Amino acid sequence: MTKRMSASSSNSGDPILEKGRSYEAKVAEVERIIARIEGGELELQQVFDEFATAVEYLRECEAFLHSSQQKIDLLIETLKDD
């Protein structure tokens, strides 16, 4: 039986976790940013700043997903070789 790794140990070295936030936390923050922007109470400069932050988080999430997909593909290929 294989041992299941925790999220922090299985993703060590991934850029998304180096800033201390998980994938889920970054997605939740993007959702909060969108809600603040759509709320219409931010100054224009704040909208730009929040938008830039959301784009950065989404890029980090995309990189994390791409890296995770590569790991999964490698594991599947390893299983096929057995």
Q: How far apart are CA 53 and CA 42, in angstroms?
A: 14
Cβ contact 67:14 at 8 Å: yes
Per-residue pLDDT, 63: 96
Token pair belonging to 36 = 């603040």
Per-domain residue ranges for the chain?
A: 22-81
Taking all residues of the chain, what is their mean pLDDT, rounded to a whole number?
83
Those residues with Cβ within 8 angstroms of residue 50's Cβ, 6 or more apart along the chain or in another chain: 33, 36, 37, 42
Counting every residue, how long is the chain?
82
- Of all residues in the chain, the percent with pLDDT exceeding 90 is 70
Q: What is the pLDDT of residues 5-40, one digit of tens each?
A: 444 444 455 555 556 679 999 999 999 999 999 999
